[in-house]
Chains A and B, each alone.
Chain A
Amino acid sequence: MVAKIIWLKRAAWIATLFLVACQSVVPNTEPVDSLRTPEAADVTVPTMRSQATARALQPVEPPALTKLAPSAESPARADGQQVVTRLQQEALVLQAQGEWSAAEQKLERALRIDADKVDLYHQLATVRMGQQRFAQAEQIALKGLTLTDRSPKFKASLWQVIGQCRSAQGDIGGAREARQEMATWLVDEQP
């Protein structure tokens, strides 16, 4: 029993680290420039907890939605893509600060504007992991898998999250399966 608890703690630990890595790999989103700092790459220091991570990432004020310059693209029907992307970027900044709840609210707002954007589910799953809600994170990532087959890299990153969640919950076999799934999608991506 004790061993199990220790193991669980370790799993949670590993998941937190993975999570940190995930934050710099959000697909299909133009990353906010300020996040492409060397600090972002250095966050895998083992002693770091999620809140410490936030500090290391140099908190950035999320740009207010109202202060955006008009897009160069045609303002014609964009299906809210631009809005969703901006909300995701803001959420990313909040994630980096460990503001999981605020990040989640941004993403849920985005979800109600575009319900089938697969990387939105990926990001939401990442936030759930940050909240230590691994079972729910896994379910959200699994749902993300049903959404689109546009690019194998989305599937791979979702399987990666699923694997991390399963590890964190002590499901070693499930985690292995998830990693294998991830690998198959990564292979698919090779030209």
Chain B
Amino acid sequence: MTRKNPPKASKSKPQGTSRPKKSPSKGPIVVKLFIQLSLVGACLLFFWLIYLNAIVREGFEGRRFKIPARAYSEAQELYVGASISQASFISLLQQLGYRAADEAFQAGRYSVRGATVTVFTRGFKFWDGVERAGKIRLQFNAEGITGLNAANGEALLLTRLDPLYLGQIYPGLTEDRVLYSLDTIPERLVLGLVLVEDERFFQHWGISFRGIARALFANLASGQASQGGSTLTNQLVKNMYLSSEKTLTRKLNEALMSIVMELHYSKNDILETYMNEVYMGQQGARSINGFGLGAEFYFGTTLEGLQIHQQAMLIGLIKGPSYYNPRRHPDRARQRRDTILSVWLSQGLISQAEYQRAKAAPLDIANKPRQTNYPAFMDALRRQLASDYRTDDLLAEGLTIFTTLDPLAQTIAEQQVAEILPQTERRYGLAADGLEGAAVLTRPSTGDILALVGGREPRVAGFNRALDAKRPVGSLMKPAVYLAALEQGYTLADPVNDAEVTIAAGDGTFWQPKNYDRVSHGQPMLVDALAKSYNQATARLGMELGLIGVFDVIARLGVSDSIPLVPSVMLGAHGMSPMEVAQMYQTISGNGFYSELNAIRAVSHPQLGVIQRYDLKVSKRFSPESIYLLQAALHEATVTGTSASIQRLLPSHWWAAGKTGTTDDNRDAWFSGFTGDRQLVVWVGRDDNQTTPLTGASGALPIWIEIMARLQPVQERRGLPRSVIHRDVNDAGIAVPNWCDQARSLPFISGTEPPESLSCEEQDNIPATEKLKWWQKLFG
């Protein structure tokens, strides 16, 4: 083959003469090369665009809908007769970020004149309806609200404040925003933004060649990339996908992605996302995004409530939230605001008069809002949510969680735990900061968890004692024994033997419970054995009833743990958390009906509306009669028993019931009780489980009393079951005439009332029919 080549080569020689002709063909090669390169380039660009397209779409849609669940407290109900003091009301307003002013001129402001408070409420979309923003006037006296009127003087029957924002469910996420849809954002704010940031927003395709040209010129002139020709779309792309470095590549990507974004989404979608997305400031680790939260963060009001100068300030901020931070650099911020105002004036968005007024207005920035921080409650909330929702949904779906937390009650509970523990330490000569405490406040009628204190430093998220400190409950378990007795036909007047007792524990050892005062009290009545918390009498009673009966009652009260079937459990040798105790006592305060304790009222979805409500569920566990008698005995404890200081320290017309608990060597001090529609469990002890000199009455009860004194629960009418009657009895439990000195009235289930005697001193508490006749005694 190679040999044949030379002739061919010689043949081609003559063609060599045409070589000069080849030089003009260089052009096509370059063109060809150019076309080839362009094709490769276009190909690369095409694939690059596909890549960017994926990023844009995923980011845009993901970001728009990936919003972590936000939790809110219960809202304060306002009506004539509501027992909230003026001082508490004002402190609640402040907690909610309302600002005091001479006149409540915009949403989020209030004014006080004597006993009258005028509030411009912010309004809120609740799960059960919308509460509109508006001005209301409230009158107070010592009891609570005595007058409630709308701005026009019309009487209002019922309204409520917006709830307190508790935070995102998972605090690891730092971006925070309040979503607004474009049609709910004030028009001037939207137009004002477009005018200032991107005048041709509604004309361009995502990039502005004029802007780029201007920026290019400026950058070339200065020799560095310092200016950008950003459209709103560019800014959104930059915020959402790109770093803040100023390179040509980034700029190119930004332009391409902007075009892609404009291809996929409408101008309105882009504008709405921008207004909810834009970075507006920082509070610690929390980044303030979007105009809605910006209005709240800087002015304590809603987007709808913003005045012109406030709108201008927010829009001015976008250029540099840190540089123009009105709290740190008020002069700079004001200049920026005024620039915005003059642009608006020149573009005809505002009138000359509006401009003058707005320009003359001070910056009027609110104090930095306090960040609510209730780690113990949020912990309980997360645990409840975890059983019903997937973490992904809680992170992404933008759910709103309406909780049962009562901010006023929570503040009171936290303060009292934090104040009383040091007092107790001083009084008993204990090392400072050695004691810890926990409290669970609930509403018996519904099982709502109103407040939760997980330790004496309630802001520190750490060991949540209210949920996780499982400590022996001591005498808090006793009501179960007495309830079992009442169910089995015992009466409150029946004598119980309080002599020393030795019980075989079943494993070869013996259990010898002793009374706290190391004294036996003879034959006290059942009611007193519980009210005075006698261990020996309770152990004997429990053994008489049988462990199975007592444990059945414990389970029905709502203690779900598997408890070892040993006698010492009757005196509380079983570890429970304050929350579990609250669940157990809920059944007692709930008149024998079990309701699961609950931290959530409802969950709503931004598009689907309310997706779940936690409505009232009750389930009967005990007869109303038995529970009535048990409540009476627990009430006796607060009058003459171990918690008699309640009677002394709280208003005498209050009806309270409760039980102290003290464990071996005073390691744990408990009190669990209820009054009105409030139940509170308090635990005090040491984290290292060392001994203290405290009892339930000296360690936990003072906290209970102080919290209740401040909560002022409305005292309720108490129902009396039809078959319950009252009899006057003496100390031996004999029905005696009511003029006897020691006569006291006790409730009995009809048919079980004690034998009657005409003698006040009658001691023989045995029904006449069972008494031995004289001849039986003689020969018996």
Q: Would you call A143 and B620 a contact (CB within 8 A)?
A: yes
- CB neighbours of A78 from chain B (8 A): 80-81
Q: Would you call B624 and A83 a contact (CB within 8 A)?
A: no
Name the prevailing secondary structure of the A interface residues: helix
Task: Give residues 611-634 of B contacting A (CB, 8 Å).
Answer: 613, 615-620, 624, 627-628
A-B pairs with the 5 shortest C-beta distances? A70-B155, A115-B445, A105-B128, A146-B591, A115-B677
Query: Whole-angstrom distance from the CB of A152 to the nearest CB of chain B?
Result: 9
Interface residues of A (CB under 8 A from B): 65-71, 75-83, 86-87, 101-102, 104-106, 108-109, 111-113, 115-116, 118, 124, 136, 139-140, 142-143, 145-150, 155
| Complex alpha-carbon distance, A87 and B160, angstroms | 14
Q: Would you call B79 and A80 a contact (CB within 8 A)?
A: yes
Query: Whole-angstrom distance from the CB of B545 to the nearest CB of chain A?
Result: 24
| Complex alpha-carbon distance, A143 and B591, angstroms | 8
Flag whether B386 is at the interface (Cβ < 8 A). Answer: no
Task: Please encode chain B, from 712 to 743, with 1 for each CB lying within 8 Å of some chain A CB and 0 for all others.
Answer: 00101111111000000000000000000000
Among the listed B127, B158, B615, B717, which residue makes an inter-chain contact with A116, where contact means beta carbons less than 8 Å apart? B717
Q: Would you call A146 and B719 a contact (CB within 8 A)?
A: yes
| Complex alpha-carbon distance, A71 and B77, angstroms | 19
Q: Would you call B157 and A86 a contact (CB within 8 A)?
A: yes
5 A-B pairs with CB atoms under 8 Å apart are A65-B159, A69-B155, A83-B81, A108-B446, A136-B617
Of listed A77, A104, A147, A155, residue having the most chain B CB within 10 A: A77
Task: Please encode chain B, from 427 to 463, with 1 for each CB lying within 8 Å of some chain A CB and 0 for all others.
Answer: 0000000000000000111101000000000000000
Question: A87 and B443 in contact (CB under 8 A), knowing A75-B146, A76-B146, A147-B719?
Answer: no
| Complex alpha-carbon distance, A21 and B494, angstroms | 47
Query: Whole-angstrom distance from the CB of B426 to the nearest CB of chain A?
Result: 38
Q: Would you call B616 and A87 a contact (CB within 8 A)?
A: no
Among the listed B143, B156, B616, B717, which residue makes an inter-chain contact with A66, where contact means beta carbons less than 8 Å apart? B156
Query: Whole-angstrom distance from the CB of A43 to the nearest CB of chain B?
Result: 26
Q: Would you call A139 and B618 a contact (CB within 8 A)?
A: yes
Q: Would you call A146 and B721 a contact (CB within 8 A)?
A: yes
Q: Would you call A75 and B147 a contact (CB within 8 A)?
A: yes
Interface residues of B (CB under 8 A from A): 77, 79-82, 127-129, 143-144, 146-147, 150, 154-159, 443-446, 448, 590-593, 613, 615-620, 624, 627-628, 677, 714, 716-722
Q: Would you call A77 and B143 a contact (CB within 8 A)?
A: yes
Of listed B147, B158, B627, residue having the most chain A CB within 10 A: B158
Q: Would you call A83 and B719 a contact (CB within 8 A)?
A: no
Q: Identify 8 new A-B residue pairs, CB closer than 8 A, beyond the known A106-B128, A146-B721.
A: A75-B155, A77-B80, A80-B81, A83-B157, A86-B157, A115-B716, A140-B618, A142-B618
- CB neighbours of A79 from chain B (8 A): 81, 714
Question: A83 and B158 in contact (CB under 8 A), knowing A111-B445, A116-B445, A116-B716?
Answer: yes
Of listed B77, B157, B593, residue having the most chain A CB within 10 A: B157
- CB neighbours of A68 from chain B (8 A): 154-157
Query: Whole-angstrom distance from the CB of A147 to the nearest CB of chain B?
Result: 4
- CB neighbours of B591 from chain A (8 A): 143, 146-147
Question: A112 and B443 in contact (CB under 8 A), knowing A81-B81, A83-B81, A146-B719?
Answer: yes
Among the listed B129, B157, B616, which residue makes an inter-chain contact with A111, where contact means beta carbons less than 8 Å apart? B616
Query: Whole-angstrom distance from the CB of B70 to the nearest CB of chain A?
Result: 21
Among the listed B143, B444, B616, which residue makes an inter-chain contact with A124, where contact means beta carbons less than 8 Å apart? B616
* Nearest neighbor of A86 in chain B, beta-carbon distance: B157
| Complex alpha-carbon distance, A76 and B144, angstroms | 9
